[in-house]
Amino acid sequence: MPGSGLLRLCWSSLCLLGMACLIAFGGASTAVAETAVAKIAVVSSMTGAATYYGVPVLDGVRLAVDEANATGQAPRIEITVHDDLSTDDGARDAAGAAVESGALVVVGPVQTTSSIAAGLTLTEGGLVSIVPTAHGDAVTSNETTFRAVISTSEMGEALANYLYYVLNGKRAAMTYPNNGYGRPVAKGFRRAAERLGIETSYYAFNSQQEREEAARRIAAEPDAPAVVLGMIGVDAVPLLTALRRLNVPGPRLGTDAIALESLHARFANEPEYQRDPGYFTDGVYAVSPMIIDSASADTLAFADRFRARFGRQPGWVELQAYEGTRLAIAAVRATSRAAAGANLAVRRKAIADYLISLDGPGHALSGPSGPLWFTPDRGRQQTVRMGRFHGTIFESAPLQLVRVPNPNSDDIASGAVVDVGNGHYARRQQVVYTGIYLNEIPRIDIAQSRFTADFYLWVRYASGGKGAADPADIDFPDLVRGTSDGKLPAASGQLDDGTSYQLWRMRGDFKNDFDLHRYPADLQTLAIRLFNARAATDRIVYVQDRRSAGNGAVPVPGAAQADDAKVTAGDPPPADAFGGAVANGAFRNLTQWEPLWAREGRADLVTASALGDPRLVGAEQIRELSGFDLTFQVRRLVLATLAKTLLPLGLMALIMLASLYFPNALVKEKITVAITGALSGAVLLAAINAQLGGIGYIIAVEYGFYVFFVLCLLCIVSVLVAEQFRVVKRPGAAILVERSARALYILALLATAAAAWYAVQKA
């Protein structure tokens, strides 16, 4: 039939249309699935001699990827790890595997020679590599390599600038191995030394014998020149040993290869070390991309997140890997939409173009250590830190050179801002070693949101020269009322290391925000904070004085350690009469509180605004004030508090329970007891609220009062209902009401007690 043929034709057309839709939908889903995940390859030294770089790098990468994926932003990032075996051949093989893996960008390799070896393979595959830790100047000779860390020659320049502008050095002896690491360091130092007029002798060596001869020749030089070590640890350790035994008096400066607190342990087999572990390292300077004690607020926040994730303190290697991965993720996500559906080569090219577009502070990404952008040769301009060993402690040196993006001509003319070469300027930043020793907390006033503290405060610092701020010009933003000796310190003087020391005794009332949601099972964290409101962190940074104070969180003597106490990894130092943060009897007058822990450290105040300063652009538009604080946590003694404040309420609750067993003739007395209990509870609740001040939320103890008021109402209602049943000649119903009221009352008391016990345990 013609109609049936037409019907079959229509049915066939519908089927074909449906199949086409399914195919199109499936293809679109596949495309979405393909773009929903992006791969980043990590080429790192997971085995072999360079694992001291390779393993920490992977931890920094993982943290950056975890944080990026936690935002839910597409595409989701996955990493593939390729081990270069700490060899150049292994790096070539790992680079080839990364090209074939479908990755859009590579983070790594971690060594200079490995990066150069892998570069050709990556370039042929059109694959960008962001090198996080390889300093070598030559790593960017491959056109798809971006170096996210200061170069080796720039480290040499930094050493020369520091020697001249901070240590006032006019003569130096530069010694270095004649290899791909030592020559660029020497080249950078020579470039800056010639500009600054530093008279320098250069000693290159190719063997152990030549290295020992270099040490002897340096010791024989007149006028004790500063010794600059352009080498890694394998050469620096024996050279430092020789120089110390030859009694070379001049300062010794090295690269980030020796900027490690563990450096002193490499001298453990020497007899001098047995007598004094800091014998070979004391006074040694070393440059580093990051030193945690004087790092910025963003870097400290990164360190906190890293410790929470991996349970250890990060170093500059982990930070550089994190920032390199942040750059890679930003490039992938910035180009994912525009390059969606394009082939792999086009997407890889788009990532390279994006990284090239980060060509200055105005186009930079924000990073923990500063703005992330690349120079025309795909390197990174980066402010470095100078550390100094005090015995075995490696800490930020008292003075730093910090880049000034847009210097003031008057500052340049006065010498407050100095020329560090290549059109860049820097100012001297004072690192102020700070400590607080808590003598006593005699009072905590919840109603007034205050606590009283008596403590010592001390600072040690070096003079910052012309235009420097006063490190003793300190403000306490939470100080409501108090006294101090101000410009008359309890002690002051000049120390052998060239720093000034000042000590003050203070006593005052400090404002504090108390959290009373869980009162009376509450924990309170109190803080004594200080800032220098007249100098930003490019001028002054307050750091913890590790030489005379505990490091990190210190358990209070005689107190139990809280489960959530923020104790750093490792055994904390003892809180003794001088080395701890808290005196033994500091909390003796707080009869209702138990001290848990105390911690002192950095507390920077960051304002994410240029505050009208047109010289700050892009990622630099922040104002950061350096501060310091002593934070301690106390826990309220629940039983003591309940016995003092809620004992009358408990007695009234028992009296009301007893009233439910009064004979029927005492109806009036039953109601009187319930009403009296309700009024007493209201008065007691008002008294507690008066002690705690104006609180705009419900605290835990109030729920207990609400239960008490409901029980009062239950007593009144049950008596009235039972009496009404008796009036209408229904004694059985009256008895049932009375028994039910008693049972409900007892169950409510037990449930309230159980809930209170659970709340205390949870607290």
Average pLDDT (29-39) is: 60
Average pLDDT (623-627) is: 79
Residue 320 amino acid letter: Q
Local confidence band at 162 (pLDDT 50, 70, 90 cut-offs): very high
Highest mean pLDDT range out of 185-199, 329-343, 622-636, 719-733?
Answer: 185-199
Local confidence band at 347 (pLDDT 50, 70, 90 cut-offs): very high
Q: Which residue has the higher pLDDT, 639 or 177?
A: 177
**In angstroms, rounded to a whole number, what is the distance separating the alpha carbons of residues 260 and 298?**
21
Residue 475: DSSP 8-state: B
- Structure tokens, 461: 């610092």
pLDDT tens-digit map of 571-588: 333 333 334 678 888 888
pLDDT tens-digit map of 378-424: 999 888 899 999 999 999 999 999 988 788 888 888 888 999 988 88
**In angstroms, rounded to a whole number, what is the distance separating the alpha carbons of residues 325 and 322?**
5
pLDDT tens-digit map of 197-228: 999 999 999 999 999 999 999 999 988 899 99
CATH of domain 425-611+618-636: 2.70.170.10
Specify the CATH number for 646-762; select among 3.40.190.10, 3.90.1150.10, 3.40.630.30, 1.20.58.390.
1.20.58.390
Q: Which residue has the higher pLDDT, 178 or 758?
A: 178
Residue 45 backbone zone (phi > 0: left; psi -120 to 50: alpha; other: beta): beta
- 35-150+294-372: what CATH class? alpha beta
DSSP collapsed to 3 states, 706-738: HHHHHHHHHHHHHHHHHHHHHHCCCHHHHHHHH
The total of other beta-carbon atoms located within 10 Å of residue 196's CB is 20
Residue 467 confidence (pLDDT) above 60 = yes
Q: Is 256 helix (H, G, I), strand (E, B) or coil?
A: helix
Share the mean pLDDT of the chain.
85
Is 227 in contact with 250 (CB distance < 8 Å)?
yes
**Strand ranges (E), 619-694:** 623-636
Q: Is 247 helix (H, G, I), strand (E, B) or coil?
A: coil
Average pLDDT (520-544) is: 88
**In angstroms, rounded to a whole number, what is the distance separating the alpha carbons of residues 746 and 739?**
11
The pLDDT, as a whole number, for residue 9 is 40
All CATH 3.40.50.2300 domain ranges in the chain, comma separated? 35-150+294-372, 153-254
All CATH 1.20.58.390 domain ranges in the chain, comma separated? 646-762
Mean pLDDT lowest among 96-110, 249-263, 543-557, 638-652: 543-557
The total of other beta-carbon atoms located within 10 Å of residue 139's CB is 27
Is 399 in contact with 432 (CB distance < 8 Å)?
no
The pLDDT, as a whole number, for residue 468 is 83
- Structure tokens, 706: 């609400």
User: ∠ CA(620), CA(625), CA(631), 5° rounding?
Assistant: 130
CATH of domain 153-254: 3.40.50.2300
**In angstroms, rounded to a whole number, what is the distance separating the alpha carbons of residues 38 and 106?**
12
**In angstroms, rounded to a whole number, what is the distance separating the alpha carbons of residues 341 and 330?**
19
- Structure tokens, 79: 């990493």
Average pLDDT (296-318) is: 92
Local confidence band at 282 (pLDDT 50, 70, 90 cut-offs): very high
